[in-house]
Structure 1
């Protein structure tokens, strides 16, 4: 089975579905990673940070044993300035190259504007009549982005699919630790402790110790 995991920013994949990725690779599935944005000095990042981020991406990819990693190279925090067709076609080219049966993507109502714009482009780049090989599309939650969206009905993350990651939580947290600059200290949301707490809460929703939660967008049997 071919699986495509889409991250608007590196670390989204680990926060949202790191345990599920590890489960896929253990089951022998081919898992591919698509990163939409990059850091750059033009948006305020130092050369050291950029080099560190490159090394982090390589380490994370190795830990997940991704079959291949694609990076579209759009500037982080600047997706609102990108031509939408260009963004959509860039995503579509990777989708057509991989031909995944399962796609994991960012939640469409996260507080981060990059996530919102990318989600629209991803949904356009995975239409059923143009990409018939896709059987399942799932949106994942990113702690610090999903739960802090304005409390409006259209922004609610309503999970209806749960993945048991009890056997993979420790490694998920270890991988998240690679992103040193992204890990926060309690009580801030993106702490390792809060990642475990969310997994425990999602696990309680489906009767396991730890789980990741998703919103199913489309499924074809």
Structure 2
């Protein structure tokens, strides 16, 4: 049994990028925790109904995924910037200290959305082995509508080198994704059920299974 944490800049990142993998962890008996960095608020232009429905979505997804505990930092969505790192890093660090995750799943460092990039920097700051000796693996996940729209530059490319067979969890992942109804669209919109399944099919074909999720491994420490 291992402690796992997945970080979402926004709710839905976790299901799109690692939903099947996280379900697999839960099925194996691992403790899976969820850290959500941003939230929506009326004072930032969201309706009262949307604020309420967002919290309901989070609760429903957490239950369906089988997460052990959900943490929220409640930063306003679409307003993260590097200047917040000095306060964000200690908050992430405190949660890691409580959870002591062996495996960390975080969004890709060069996603098009600036919120994703800031969150990545905050999370990676909390993976130094001399301060977080329990961390053994750090993996970046890809997020449709963000990862593929990063600038087409060599240093920005997501390089998948770690694949998880999610064939047994594909349909459940899609069912859970439908909780985020307002985030979904019809093809060719990237965040559609058919495109989520298509990406999983492509990643699976790469490694000889029906459906897979792909990650970029950025740290692997092999120790007891």
**Pairwise TM-score range, normalised by the shorter structure:** over 0.9
Q: CA deviation at 1:41?
A: 1.7
Partner of residue 148, structure 2: 147
- Is 2:82–2:118's contact at 8 Å kept on the other side of the alignment? no
Partner of residue 77, structure 2: 76
Take 1:128 and 1:169, find their aligned partners in 2: how far apart are those partners?
Answer: 34
- Is 2:160–2:216's contact at 8 Å kept on the other side of the alignment? yes
Q: CA deviation at 1:82?
A: 5.0
Aligned residues: 221
Whether 1:128 aligns to 2:134 is: no
Take 2:218 and 2:84, find their aligned partners in 1: how far apart are those partners?
Answer: 25
Aligned ranges for residues 25-40 of structure 1 at < 5 Å?
A: 25-40=26-41
Question: Which 5+ residue runs of structure 1 have no aligned equivalent?
Answer: none
Partner of residue 58, structure 1: 59
Take 1:152 and 1:53, find their aligned partners in 2: how far apart are those partners?
Answer: 35
Taking structure 1 as the reference length, the TM-score comes to 0.98
Moved more, 74-83 or 199-208: 74-83
Partner of residue 200, structure 2: 199
- Is 2:37–2:72's contact at 8 Å kept on the other side of the alignment? yes
Q: CA deviation at 1:68?
A: 0.5
Q: In the superposition, relative to structure 1, how do residues 82 and 54 fare at CA in structure 2: closer, same or farther (>3 Å)? A: farther
Question: Which 5+ residue runs of structure 2 have no aligned equivalent?
Answer: none
Matched position secondary structure for 1:70: strand
